[in-house]
């Protein structure tokens, strides 16, 4: 007989048991034993183990101290009907409660008919009475709320800021007693401590609770629908009324992301996130129901301008969409609406927040992905590396596909397009989880005969049973990926020959374990490369990041100090020679080199203030004379101010020319406002750099290191080019300067993580400024102000979709730094998983010497094209800022068209209008795998 402590922990942690179905009998002095639900029992608390007298499961005695009975492992009572979704250690089980006319609210069985395929979910922050109680009419509001909840007729109700008085009203409401199950014990402390309450009229099979921090939690239930189980969770994140509200929200979201990642199947997370941005959805990887229904609409759920209760509670006075219903998996939005956004005739609102309601359709079958197969993808077993040498020696001589494929045994070829890999991942995981790892013996060389030759292969099967089972598990989920008719024979191709006799190869037998499946894809003319690994038995999916040049633990490019110094000396020499040639003008070094935070091989940016008028022909001649070895020297045509571009050795140089007229060049910087807007902006490149250096002061070394790291990361992720919708180097530098200046005594090795955590959670409606300054009057999805006059938004080119992308990337980087995975930072993004098709832009010039000018004109219009695509319904378009193919007079760029790309005809119509006057370009639509890897 085991001890009561052993029984408790066995039931609590073993997924075969459902803790909510167990009760502990606790001895009381002078009274009958008290029955305590196992989930609420606190081990090591006030009740010692010796007072646990018996254990019941489903009302049946399964352990008894007096008689020595121990049937926990030998009977069916208390067994989980299915593996629990809300598992320990993240979740602590709770017991759902239903109303019984005789016994009152008691533990429910969860046994009832499942609901319909459409599920109505309502979330509402009810405004508790803890603050401003004399001004919020709680006694009048609560009956209105209870009536509104009844009228909503929701299948699941997720409430926040519930207090005991409101809970009592709900528990007494006839409609709640008749139709709803509570997600916790109403006599417990959950509601009073966290203010969260879930009510469901769908059968509740399990319930659980997780504490995020003081008075903050996640409450969750799993309900049965007509289309299978659905997890619904509710939370309420910390508000800005707390001094460290933003930091605590980040920590709470990180906890939630980690916990929900372990919950399988369809999931809904509702509640008050106290964040008006898309950050919660981005960090969790969920979809926003309101966004799916209404696109970019930002109708507020907390509106101090319209709702006096919100005005009383608001610190900033800003309206925001704080309350959300976030989705993962199958649920698709049928409709969405607000509740409580209209006051009574007396002007009273039910709460300071409006309720959010969504009707969701779960009828889509998630067990099958009916996607068209692609010959560019496969699911295969790849032998361990130590087995490769003898196999590869044979393949190198005989296999025409040696350079295209690793040694492999295909399970599915072709597989779904790479853009569907993320949809396929849970199905691959489910298939892999059905099959435990198995041993194979690679032995025996066999052939498939064709008309004119044979395929020679190595037999990987000591019996084909497990291979066949694995193949069938995959075929069920990917019915269009079965390949040719004629059955499945597991084989590892060694090569081709005219006949078996012409292939005199013998290989010694080898034993291996099939423990993983590899998902492969081929992009353009590249070889098949692994993109993900799925573990048999557990179904764990591990995405493989693209390789990237990196050799420091911070992800920053490693460059010896002497190399950077040598580059700086070369740049300084070029600047001095130009300064001598352009006297009495003054040549300023600007940009990252002036700030001391340049990346290796950075351009040299210069601004020349020249007296009088600027004769560019004469200036070009002076530059040629000063730098006779300069190559690719050309005038910049069409810019707001004239300039030259050239290359000296390996150094690219951009020279901007500002004609100062009667103003002496030495005074041009301080009197730049007199030169006109364009010239003033050009000259402000000098003062911008100086202002940033002054702002960081003694923190310059920390700032420079951080700025290099951030800009290297932004470049790797394709976020660093303003003409392509990204943030320019100046904007990233301003963000780095703010971080370095405001980080206090934070150690230098934690500064990068602090940068990502700060800006991932930033509300981009709030302008970012380095110095006290007037904010741009022009509203924009993102605002990062330049640090000196004339002040302007250097992020004005970033669209709403661009903000979402940058936020998503910042969150990813934050997670990597939090888990010390710095080496993954500079990996290119998974563009082929994000984009199902591309617009391939080809730029050509008949004359090589004119190509740079042609390319400049086209680059200057990319933002216009991205805007046209966004208006056509492609908010997630991403123009990769570097060409994937270049020549002396041509370049090809890829513009990702998102997960639901335009068809060829619609794309042609948009690009045709955009490309008028650009005879040097062509744009073609290409499928996902037709474009090579982008770096």
- When pLDDT is averaged across residues 500-504 and rounded to a whole number, the result is 73
- Secondary structure element (H or E) that encloses residue 606, with its range: strand 604-610
Q: Measured between alpha carbons, how far is residue 693 from residues 445, 684, 690 in Å?
A: 69, 14, 5
Q: Are 606 and 623 in contact (CB under 8 A)?
A: no
- When pLDDT is averaged across residues 446-453 and rounded to a whole number, the result is 86
Q: Measured between alpha carbons, how far is residue 737 from residues 499, 652, 695, 703, 794 in Å?
A: 69, 26, 7, 6, 15
To 10 degrees, what angle do helices 800-818 and 751-760 make?
140
Q: Are 728 and 774 in contact (CB under 8 A)?
A: no
At residue 822, does pLDDT exceed 80?
Answer: yes
pLDDT per residue as tens digits for the range 289-306: 998 888 888 899 999 999
- pLDDT at residue 483, rounded to an integer: 78
Annotation: CATH topology of 374-543: Cyclic Phosphodiesterase; Chain: A, (3.90.1140)
Confidence of residue 115 (pLDDT cuts 50, 70, 90): low
- When pLDDT is averaged across residues 131-159 and rounded to a whole number, the result is 91
At residue 763, does pLDDT exceed 90?
Answer: no
- When pLDDT is averaged across residues 405-417 and rounded to a whole number, the result is 96
At residue 555, does pLDDT exceed 50?
Answer: no
Q: Are 534 and 541 in contact (CB under 8 A)?
A: yes
Question: What is the DSSP-derived secondary structure letter of residue 584?
Answer: T
Measured in degrees and rounded to the nearest 5, phi and psi for residue 401 equal -95, 15
Using alpha carbons, select from 512, 474, 505 the residue that is nearest to residue 367: 474
- Torsion angle of the four alpha carbons 402, 406, 407, 411, in this order, in degrees rounded to the nearest 10: -120
- When pLDDT is averaged across residues 437-447 and rounded to a whole number, the result is 90
CATH number for the domain running over 561-824: 3.30.460.10
Structure tokens at 16: 């075969």
Query: Would you call 431 helix, strand, or coil by DSSP?
Result: helix
- When pLDDT is averaged across residues 306-328 and rounded to a whole number, the result is 92
35, β-bridge pairs: 25
Strands 409-415 and 374-381: antiparallel
To 10 degrees, what angle do helices 164-172 and 138-152 make?
40
- pLDDT at residue 556, rounded to an integer: 40
pLDDT per residue as tens digits for the range 245-291: 888 998 999 899 988 988 888 999 999 999 998 889 888 888 999 98
Confidence of residue 113 (pLDDT cuts 50, 70, 90): low
DSSP string, 521-568: E--TTSPPEEEEEEETTT--EEEPPPP----STTSPPP--HHHHHHHH
- Secondary structure element (H or E) that encloses residue 890, with its range: strand 890-896
- pLDDT at residue 84, rounded to an integer: 79
Question: CA–CA separation, 640 vs 625, rounded Å?
Answer: 26
379, β-bridge pairs: 412, 519
Confidence of residue 557 (pLDDT cuts 50, 70, 90): very low
CATH 3.30.450 fits 833-930, yes or no: no
Strongest mean pLDDT among 28-32, 157-161, 483-487, 550-554: 157-161
Kindly tell me the burial class for residue 152, based on how many C-beta atoms sit within 10 Å of its own C-beta (0-12, 13-18, 19 or more).
middle
Helices and strands counted in the chain (H then E): 24, 40
> How much of the chain, in percent, has pLDDT values that exceed 90?
63
- When pLDDT is averaged across residues 605-609 and rounded to a whole number, the result is 98
228-236, strands of its sheet edge to edge = 92-94, 204-213, 216-225, 228-236, 267-272, 323-328, 287-288
Cβ neighbours around 502 below 10 Å, total = 12
At residue 805, does pLDDT exceed 90?
Answer: yes
Structure tokens at 139: 């006694």
Cα R_g (the chain), whole angstroms? 33
Confidence of residue 128 (pLDDT cuts 50, 70, 90): confident
- Secondary structure element (H or E) that encloses residue 651, with its range: strand 651-659
Structure tokens at 597: 């935070």
Domain positions in the chain = 4-70, 117-361, 374-543, 561-824, 833-930
Question: CA–CA separation, 183 vs 159, rounded Å?
Answer: 11
Structure tokens at 538: 């557990």
Query: Would you call 34 helix, strand, or coil by DSSP?
Result: strand
- Torsion angle of the four alpha carbons 894, 895, 896, 897, in this order, in degrees rounded to the nearest 10: -130
Question: CA–CA separation, 780 vs 773, rounded Å?
Answer: 17
Q: Which is higher by pLDDT, 133 or 843? A: 843
- pLDDT at residue 336, rounded to an integer: 93
- pLDDT at residue 549, rounded to an integer: 37
542-561 burial, b at 16+ Cβ within 10 Å, e below that, comes to: eeebbebebeeebbbbeeee
Please report the sign of the dihedral spanned by the C-alpha atoms of residue 695, residue 699, residue 704, residue 705: negative
Confidence of residue 238 (pLDDT cuts 50, 70, 90): very high
Strongest mean pLDDT among 364-368, 384-388, 540-544: 384-388
Question: What is the DSSP-derived secondary structure letter of residue 784?
Answer: B
At residue 484, does pLDDT exceed 80?
Answer: no
Helix runs in 324-479, H state only? 388-398, 421-433, 465-477
Biggest alpha carbon distance in the chain?
107
Q: Are 318 and 304 in contact (CB under 8 A)?
A: yes
The answer to which of 209-213, 871-875, 896-900 has the lowest mean pLDDT is 871-875
Strands 837-844 and 69-70: unpaired
Q: Which is higher by pLDDT, 538 or 175? A: 175
- When pLDDT is averaged across residues 472-488 and rounded to a whole number, the result is 83
- When pLDDT is averaged across residues 43-70 and rounded to a whole number, the result is 88
Strongest mean pLDDT among 202-206, 328-332, 395-399, 927-931: 927-931
Question: CA–CA separation, 158 vs 307, rounded Å?
Answer: 22
- pLDDT at residue 4, rounded to an integer: 86
At residue 187, does pLDDT exceed 80?
Answer: yes
Please report the sign of the dihedral spanned by the C-alpha atoms of residue 667, residue 670, residue 672, residue 674: negative
- pLDDT at residue 451, rounded to an integer: 82
- When pLDDT is averaged across residues 181-201 and rounded to a whole number, the result is 94
Confidence of residue 104 (pLDDT cuts 50, 70, 90): very high
Give the mean pLDDT of the chain.
90
Kindly tell me the burial class for residue 243, based on how many C-beta atoms sit within 10 Å of its own C-beta (0-12, 13-18, 19 or more).
exposed
Structure tokens at 50: 């010796």
Strands 651-659 and 643-648: antiparallel
Q: Are 644 and 620 in contact (CB under 8 A)?
A: yes
Question: CA–CA separation, 813 vs 809, rounded Å?
Answer: 6
- When pLDDT is averaged across residues 475-484 and rounded to a whole number, the result is 86
- pLDDT at residue 403, rounded to an integer: 95
- pLDDT at residue 552, rounded to an integer: 37
Question: CA–CA separation, 900 vs 876, rounded Å?
Answer: 9
pLDDT per residue as tens digits for the range 340-357: 999 999 999 999 999 999
- pLDDT at residue 486, rounded to an integer: 62
Question: CA–CA separation, 752 vs 741, rounded Å?
Answer: 13
- pLDDT at residue 776, rounded to an integer: 65
To 10 degrees, what angle do helices 751-760 and 729-742 make?
110
Structure tokens at 916: 């008028």
At residue 736, does pLDDT exceed 50?
Answer: yes
Homologous superfamily, domain 117-361: Endonuclease/exonuclease/phosphatase (3.60.10.10)
At residue 846, does pLDDT exceed 50?
Answer: yes
């Amino acid at each position: 007989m085991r001890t009561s402590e052993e029984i408790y922990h066995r039931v609590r942690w073993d997924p075969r048991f459902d803790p909510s179905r167990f009760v502990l009998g606790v001895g009381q002095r002078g009274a009958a034993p008290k029955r305590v639900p196992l989930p609420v029992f606190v081990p090591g608390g006030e009740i010692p183990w010796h007072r646990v007298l018996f254990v019941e499961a489903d009302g049946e005695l399964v352990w008894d101290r007096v008689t020595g009975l121990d049937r926990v492992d030998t009977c069916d009572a208390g067994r989980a009907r299915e593996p629990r979704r809300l598992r320990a250690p993240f979740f602590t089980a709770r017991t759902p409660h239903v109303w019984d006319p005789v016994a009152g609210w008691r533990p429910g069985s969860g046994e009832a008919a499942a609901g319909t395929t459409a599920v109505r979910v309502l979330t509402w922050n009810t405004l508790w009475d803890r603050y401003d109680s004399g001004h919020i009419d709680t006694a009048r509001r609560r009956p209105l709320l209870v009536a509104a909840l009844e009228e909503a007729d929701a299948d699941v109700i997720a409430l926040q800021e519930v207090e005991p008085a409101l809970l009592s009203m709900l528990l007494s409401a006839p409609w709640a007693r008749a139709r709803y199950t509570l997600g916790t014990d109403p006599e417990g402390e959950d509601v009073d401590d966290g203010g969260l309450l879930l009510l469901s009229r769908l059968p509740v099979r399990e319930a659980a609770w997780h504490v995020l921090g003081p008075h903050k939690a996640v409450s969750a239930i799993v309900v049965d629908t007509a289309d299978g189980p659905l997890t619904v969770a509710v939370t309420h994140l910390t508000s800005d009324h707390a001094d460290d509200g933003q930091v605590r929200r980040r920590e709470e979201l990180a906890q939630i992301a980690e916990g929900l990642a372990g919950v399988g199947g369809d999931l809904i997370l509702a509640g008050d996130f106290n964040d008006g941005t898309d950050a919660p959805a981005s960090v969790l990887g969920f979809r926003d129901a309101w966004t799916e229904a209404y696109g970019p609409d930002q109708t507020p759920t907390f509106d101090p301008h319209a709702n006096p209760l919100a005005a009383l509670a608001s610190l900033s006075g800003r309206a925001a969409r704080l309350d959300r219903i976030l989705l993962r998996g199958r649920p698709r939005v049928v409709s969405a609406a607000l509740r409580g956004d209209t006051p009574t005739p007396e002007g009273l609102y039910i709460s300071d927040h409006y309720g959010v309601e969504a009707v969701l359709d779960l009828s889509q079958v998630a067990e099958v992905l009916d996607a068209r197969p692609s010959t560019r993808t496969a699911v295969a077993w790849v032998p361990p590396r130590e087995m490769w040498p003898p196999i590869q020696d044979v393949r190198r001589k005989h296999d025409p596909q040696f350079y295209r494929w690793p040694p492999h045994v295909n399970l599915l070829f072709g597989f779904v397009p790479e853009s569907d890999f993320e949809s396929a991942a849970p199905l691959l995981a489910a298939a892999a989880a059905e099959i435990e790892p198995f041993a194979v013996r690679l032995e025996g060389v066999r052939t498939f005969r064709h008309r004119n030759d044979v395929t020679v292969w190595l037999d990987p099967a000591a019996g084909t049973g497990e291979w066949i089972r694995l193949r069938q598990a995959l075929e069920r989920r990917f019915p269009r990926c079965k390949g040719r008719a004629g059955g499945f024979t597991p084989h590892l191709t060694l090569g081709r020959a005219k006949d078996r006799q012409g292939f005199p190869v013998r290989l010694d037998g080898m034993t291996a374990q099939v423990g993983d499946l590899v998902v492969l894809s081929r992009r353009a003319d590249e070889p098949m490369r692994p993109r993900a690994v799925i573990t048999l038995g557990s179904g764990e999916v591990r995405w493989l990041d693209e390789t990237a040049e990196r050799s420091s633990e911070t992800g920053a490019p490693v460059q010896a100090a002497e190399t950077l110094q040598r580059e700086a000396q070369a740049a300084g020499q070029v600047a001095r020679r130009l300064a001598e040639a352009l006297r009495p003008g003054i040549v300023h070094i600007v940009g990252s080199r002036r700030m001391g935070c340049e990346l290796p091989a950075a351009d040299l940016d210069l601004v020349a203030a020249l007296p009088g008028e600027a004769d560019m022909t004469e200036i070009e001649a002076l530059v040629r004379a000063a730098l006779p070895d300069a190559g690719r020297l050309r005038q910049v045509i069409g810019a707001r101010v004239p300039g030259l571009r050239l290359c000296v050795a390996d150094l690219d140089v951009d020279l901007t020319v500002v004609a100062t007229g009667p103003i002496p060049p030495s005074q041009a910087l301080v009197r730049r406002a007199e030169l006109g807007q364009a010239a003033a902006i050009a000259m402000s490149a000098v003062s911008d750099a100086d202002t940033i250096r002054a702002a960081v002061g003694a923190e310059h070394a920390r700032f420079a290191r951080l700025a290099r790291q951030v800009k290297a990361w932004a470049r790797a992720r394709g976020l660093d080019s303003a003409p392509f919708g990204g943030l320019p180097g100046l904007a990233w530098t301003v963000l780095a300067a703010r971080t370095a200046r405001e980080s206090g005594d934070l150690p230098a090795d934690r500064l990068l993580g602090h940068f990502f955590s700060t800006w991932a959670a930033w509300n981009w409606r709030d302008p970012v400024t380095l110095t006290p300054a007037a904010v741009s009057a022009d509203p924009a999805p993102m605002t990062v102000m330049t640090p000196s006059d004339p002040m302007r938004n250097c992020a004005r080119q970033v669209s709403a979709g661009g903000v979402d992308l940058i936020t998503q990337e910042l969150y990813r980087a934050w997670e990597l730094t939090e888990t010390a995975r710095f080496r993954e930072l500079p990996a290119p993004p998974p563009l082929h998983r994000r984009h199902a098709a591309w617009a391939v832009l080809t730029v050509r010039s008949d004359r090589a010497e004119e190509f740079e000018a042609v390319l400049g004109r086209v680059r200057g219009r990319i933002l216009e094209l991205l805007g046209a695509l966004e208006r056509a319904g492609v908010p997630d378009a991403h123009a990769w800022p570097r060409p994937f193919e270049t020549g002396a007079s041509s370049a090809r760029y890829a513009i990702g068209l998102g997960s639901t790309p335009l068809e060829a005809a619609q794309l042609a119509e948009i690009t045709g209008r955009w490309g008028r006057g650009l005879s040097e370009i062509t744009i073609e639509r290409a499928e996902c795998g037709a474009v090579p890897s982008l770096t």
